Amino acid sequence: MKWLYLQRCFRRVAFAFFLLTVVSCGQAVRNTGSFESYVEAFEKDAATLNRGLTVNYIEIKFGELNDGTLALCSLGVGTPLITVNQSLWGNLDETQRQLVIYHELGHCVLKKGHANQEIRIPGQRIKLSIMNQHPLDLTDYLKFRKDYLNELFNSSAGRSI
Ligand SMILES: [Zn+2]
């Protein structure tokens, strides 16, 4: 008698878990259009640096942004959205484009805020993070790319949102 009760109870709990799983997981939304290759590269770079991740929830699209903003991550209810400034995108080379999307994925996927620390050496200021509010110097990025990516994927700096 007691066993039967437990069995029923277990079934109810299992069913509740099943419902919860279905409701909470829902359908992954990855709508990246012509930006898909950047998201794939982001996942590959993360894997190379021992930070396995799959971007399941992201939408990336062109739009108009003010004040020379290259791109913007909007986090709120629903799928995180990256809006890319269509009128500026055409002027960027591949490295700059990757940097822009990685920065926004840092906000939208890694939930990082801005990290504006820099080091000053005579005649030079080097930004320490891709999550700097201002775009990185491309020479620095190409020279220290692995360090920048390691900082992006494995450091907790800027993880504030
Ligand atoms: Zn930003």
> What pLDDT sits at residue 68?
86
User: What is the chain's mean pLDDT, rounded?
Assistant: 86
CA angle 150, 152, 158 (to 5 degrees): 135
Contact predicate 2/51, CB 8 Å: no
On the question of pLDDT at 12 being above 80, the answer is no
Q: Ligand 1: distance of its center to the CA of 131 in Å? A: 6
Q: Ligand 1: distance of its center to the CA of 106 in Å? A: 8
Q: Ligand 1: distance of its center to the CA of 40 in Å? A: 20
Q: Ligand 1: distance of its center to the CA of 48 in Å? A: 24
Cα 14 from chain centre: 34
- For residue 119, the cross-strand partners are 126
Domains of the chain: 28-154 (3.30.2010)
For range 126-132, the mean pLDDT: 95
pLDDT in tens, 19-75: 444 445 557 799 999 999 999 999 999 999 988 899 999 999 999 998 789 999 999
Q: Ligand 1: distance of its center to the CA of 29 in Å? A: 22
Q: Ligand 1: distance of its center to the CA of 107 in Å? A: 7
pLDDT in tens, 145-160: 999 999 999 987 655 5
Alpha carbons 14 and 120: distance in angstroms, whole number:
58
* DSSP structure class, residue 106: H
Secondary-structure breakdown of the chain: helix, strand, coil percentages, each rounded to the nearest 5: 45, 15, 35
pTM: 0.80
Contact predicate 138/96, CB 8 Å: yes
* DSSP structure class, residue 110: T
Alpha carbons 58 and 27: distance in angstroms, whole number:
12
On the question of pLDDT at 6 being above 60, the answer is no
Q: Ligand 1: distance of its center to the CA of 124 in Å? A: 23
Q: Which stretch of 14-23, 79-88, 128-137 has the lowest confidence by average pLDDT? A: 14-23
Q: Ligand 1: distance of its center to the CA of 75 in Å? A: 12
